[in-house]
Amino acid sequence: MGKNKLKKFGEMETFFNVFQYPYSRLKAEGFALRGKWNSEFFKNDNPIVLELGCGKGEYAVGLAKKYPDRNFIGVDIKGARMWTGARQSVDEGMTNVAFLRTNIELINEFFAPNEVAEIWITFPDPQMKKVNKRLTSVRFQNLYRQILRPDGIIHLKTDSPFLYTYTHEMVRLNRLATDVDTDDLYHSGLADDILEIRTFYERQWLARGLTIKYIKWHLDAETTLVEPDIEIEHDTYRSFSRGTLETDKKYQNDI
């Protein structure tokens, strides 16, 4: 591991709003805030919103700024990326945003039933070869059910035609209530102040002429979900490496 990454990991240990729990630590210690995020960390009863695969945490920080009456938690296993949003939120004195470094597969170990109101999945790896690793797959939907409130909301924002098509079919096949479903968000007339938050990578994709896809659906607690059995054409372009670009010039010299 490079010195820069080690420095970031060490610095994050000093951030009050960062919790680093890889599987080994979780197994050894458990997680004391499970079911107590509102009462013991945020000190309020505001809804909790997760950003899964948060990368540098741009959406979590951006949403937290817009909505001080909600609590936001960015989740990712890549701590060196997460450092950017974590440091920015600490520097700006934000108290309604936190970061959790762990595997998303372990999410129900960190949140109790009904503790989460909404989930954002922003530009994840489409996992074109491995359905069970897709963050919108039935496997993950059933995991989210363990922590979401009844009829909880899930948002997907993606540049991937493959992942959009897969998720659209999964939602349609299972007759999940859908509020928004578009394959060209910024030409749909549907983008609002939330959706107008654009990550650095998103701006780069838009500059390349790629459209941004967005689906917002409700995950009920009763439906037995099934995977769509369809052939989907693989994406024909190569996405940006998320480790090579930066989000905010203010922090660029530190990355």
Active site residues per annotation: 125
71: CB partners within 8 A, 6+ apart:
37, 38, 42, 44, 46, 47, 48, 49, 64, 96, 97, 98
Cα–Cα distance for residue pair 34/232, rounded to 1 Å: 38
Q: CB atoms < 10 A from the CB of 200, how many?
A: 18
Q: 107-127 as b/e, with b when 16 or more CB fall inside 10 Å?
A: bebbbeeebbbbbbbbbbebb
Secondary structure (3-state) at 190: coil
Secondary structure (3-state) at 144: helix
